[in-house]
Amino acid sequence: MAVLELEGSRQSWQRVAQLGIVLIIFGVVTLSAILNLSAVPAAVIGWLLVLSGMAEAVHAFRIRRSDAFLFHLVPGVAAVPLGLFTATHPGAGAITWMLMFASFFTAIGLFRAIAAYWLKFPNWGWTVFEAIATLALGSVMWAAWVWLIPWFLSFAAGLSMILRGWSSVMLAQELHRLKPQP
């Protein structure tokens, strides 16, 4: 089955699961930033975004010969500069971050939804769900950023990471299930 070559090989299910677990952990930590409403969470969210982007980019290079290379590389590379900017300039203000993250979520959500539909890898429906949720978070940020400051940024970033991690775990589960038996 050529579709299984999406993540490199059927034996790569462990790496996909590891990526998913890392993203879920980063998402939970990001959600916990809701409790602290000062400028510190912007820096924390920024560094977590950098780390999640790096994790996804590293995963992309592990599977560089597969169809999923750009599927993981594009969001990973997009997250790093946004995360660095957020981490190094936490005082720029919540409005700045809301509008930047709205752009990021809109672009990444749209990209991942179209790519998942196009590639149709195992359990691709979870990725489409995650991408549509990310796109919806971006749309909400565009429409209601004035009322959602500052807690929604942590909520949206954390939820997006958790959903992205969950879709990776579901893909890993399906790849493991389809693994050839010795």
Residue 109's pLDDT band (cuts 50, 70, 90): very high
What is the average per-residue pLDDT within 52-75? 86
- pTM metric for this prediction: 0.81
Specify the range with the lowest mean pLDDT, choosing from 72-76, 104-108, 176-180.
176-180
Q: Quote the pLDDT of residue 152.
A: 82
The stretch 167-175 carries a mean pLDDT of 87
CB-CB neighbours of 35 under 10 Å: 9
What per-residue confidence (pLDDT) applies to 150?
66
Residue 123, phi then psi, degrees to nearest 5: 55, 35
